[in-house]
């Protein structure tokens, strides 16, 4: 007997409740104050036989020879080193805003060859460059790997997580600072995390009301420009006071979000359905394959053959029809679908059909 699980309203109370005040620091970022991506190339040494196979990753040998040459060691041209404890890696990191010379940041190391594990290895000095090609950090240190990989002599292998990727906490030192426009004077621009004209207008109003002066104005659905002091110290204090200003953000538009992989459906409280009749039924097709062995007759010089035998079974479940009245809301939709015994996947099909029929007053987003 087929059982249907009811479609639950997962913590949608958060979506259905009235919007509560949030701080400006939770709604927006300061324009120009952001992280920057860094990337580099390096060698991880000291591996326990889990490094690159040089026949398939020749660039590892080339990189090692180039490094040794810079250190005054000449490798004979006739030498063909078979390295198992060295791996070529890509090194990347997030360069935080306002990072100063001598400070350290975390880096991530990932194999770009065929190394099976970076566990126990050490990254040699590797420059990290920004998008402008300038070196901003130097990375070096012992690699910490959270994964586990074990290979037996018969070729079987057990892997937990990804042992070919690791991290080096505080593994890169800052050698160059990134210029920013924060101390340059002029207006401060607050960029909302989610574009919304209502939230932008309310943010400007809340700032003006708190400061008692018309210093903020909404530029568009994302940006709020604020007149700020030119002095750096006053500018920091001024922004500190802005971060704690509370704003009632605008409600999100009517939206249905569907995860096509898991069948998860999230509906916010503004979704409504126009008058519509929906019929729901089940049709299942089962194909069963039973291979049959056909033996040749005595003295026929025939061969044994496998003959496939297929059985097709079609079952049509009882259909259900229900009517949505004008202004039907989230509770009514879920209650109606649960009453007919539909699964969450069926709800997806119903919502898509309503959207095609023009009866769903909401944006349908499939991820």
Q: What is the mean pLDDT of the chain?
A: 77
Buried b (16+ CB within 10 A) or exposed e, 64-84: bbeeeeeeeeeeeeeeeeebe
Question: Can you give the C-alpha Rg of the chain in angstroms?
Answer: 32
Q: 129-142: per-residue pLDDT in tens?
A: 999 999 999 999 99
pLDDT at 48: 86
pLDDT at 143: 93
Query: Of 363 and 68, which is predicted with more confidence?
Result: 68
pTM of the model: 0.64
**Cβ(242)–Cβ(33) under 8 Å?**
no
Nearest-5° Cα angle at 310, 305 to 313 = 170
Tokens of 64: 């090692």
Tokens of 74: 């000449």
The domain segmentation of the chain, as residue ranges, is 20-33+181-247, 36-174, 255-366
Q: Is the pLDDT of residue 253 over 60?
A: yes
Q: 53-74: per-residue pLDDT in tens?
A: 876 677 888 888 888 888 888 7
């Amino acid at each position: 007997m087929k059982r249907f699980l009811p479609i639950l309203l997962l913590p949608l109370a958060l979506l259905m409740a009235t919007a509560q005040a949030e701080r400006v620091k939770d709604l927006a970022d300061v324009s120009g104050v952001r992280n920057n991506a860094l990337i580099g190339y390096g060698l991880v040494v000291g591996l326990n036989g889990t490094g690159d196979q040089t026949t398939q990753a020749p660039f590892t040998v080339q990189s090692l020879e180039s490094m040794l040459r810079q250190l005054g060691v000449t490798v004979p041209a006739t030498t063909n080193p078979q390295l198992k404890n060295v791996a070529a890696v890509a090194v990347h990191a997030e360069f935080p805003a306002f990072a100063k010379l001598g400070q350290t940041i975390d880096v991530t190391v990932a194999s770009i060859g065929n190394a099976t594990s970076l566990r126990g290895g050490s990254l040699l000095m590797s420059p990290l460059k920004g998008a402008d090609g300038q070196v901003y950090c130097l990375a070096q240190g012992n690699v910490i790997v959270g994964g586990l990989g074990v290979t037996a002599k018969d070729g079987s292998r057990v892997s937990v997580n990804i042992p070919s990727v690791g991290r080096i906490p505080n593994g890169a030192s800052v050698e160059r600072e990134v210029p920013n426009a924060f101390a340059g004077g002029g207006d401060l621009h607050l960029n909302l995390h989610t574009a919304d004209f209502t939230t932008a207008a309310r943010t400007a109003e809340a700032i003006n009301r708190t400061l008692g002066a018309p210093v903020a104005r909404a530029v568009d659905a994302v940006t709020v420009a604020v007149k700020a002091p030119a002095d750096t110290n006053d500018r920091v204090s001024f922004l500190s006071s802005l971060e704690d200003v509370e704003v009632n953000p605008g409600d999100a538009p009517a939206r249905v979000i569907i995860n096509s992989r898991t069948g998860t459906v999230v509906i916010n409280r503004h979704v409504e359905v126009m008058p519509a009749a929906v019929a729901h039924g089940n049709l299942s097709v089962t194909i069963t394959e039973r291979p049959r062995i056909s033996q040749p007759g005595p003295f026929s010089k025939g061969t044994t053959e496998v003959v496939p035998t297929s059985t097709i079974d079609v079952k049509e479940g009882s259909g259900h029809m229900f009517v949505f009245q004008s202004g039907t809301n989230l509770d009514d939709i879920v209650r109606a679908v649960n009453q007919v015994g539909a699964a969450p996947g069926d709800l997806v099909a119903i919502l898509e059909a309503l959207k095609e029929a023009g009866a769903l007053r909401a944006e349908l987003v499939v991820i």
